[in-house]
Amino acid sequence: MREQVRQRAADRCEYCQMPQAQTQLPHEVDHIRSLKHQGATSLENLCWACALCNGFKGSDIATYVPETTELTRLFNPRLDHWHSHFAWKNGVLLPSTVIAAATIALLRMNSDRRVSHRQLLIKCGLFPDPQNRQTSQRTSPE
């Protein structure tokens, strides 16, 4: 099942799009809805996540939107289309929706260190081309 999840994601984090080949820590299988929230260990509830995104997400399924009191669910790679929620600008991930804003904040996707890493990879041609929509499209559960 792990290999199916990895292949479906093209070996790229389904949250921040970081390719496994460009990180030191191995990517992990993430329960989108955690076991403690009655999430199943099934292809429909699993995604491929970098160690940073998975570590910051933990068992969370929602968070408060920055600078508001609005509780919002997190981005779900099995239900949501990545490009409907996120956009790139020079290595910075921009939210297009409140779901993206919540996810970016909780997963600390725009920390200085993560942005610098992506900018370096972009310069080297090792990070997905932001214009290439093929790299990040939602995939249906199998």
82: pLDDT confidence band, cut at 50, 70 and 90? very high
Handedness of CA 136, 126, 113, 52 (dihedral sign): positive
What is the rounded average pLDDT of the residues 44-64? 97
Q: Which of 54, 55, 60, 42 is nearest to 14 (CA)?
A: 54
pLDDT in tens, 89-133: 999 999 999 999 999 999 999 999 999 999 999 999 999 765 544
What global pTM score does this model have? 0.89
Q: Who has greater pLDDT, 85 or 69?
A: 85
SS3 19: strand
Residue 130 confidence (pLDDT): 59
Residue 131 confidence (pLDDT): 52
Residue 80 confidence (pLDDT): 98
Long-range Cβ pairs for the range 92-99 (8 Å, 24+): 93/16, 98/65, 98/70, 98/72, 99/72, 99/73, 99/74, 99/75
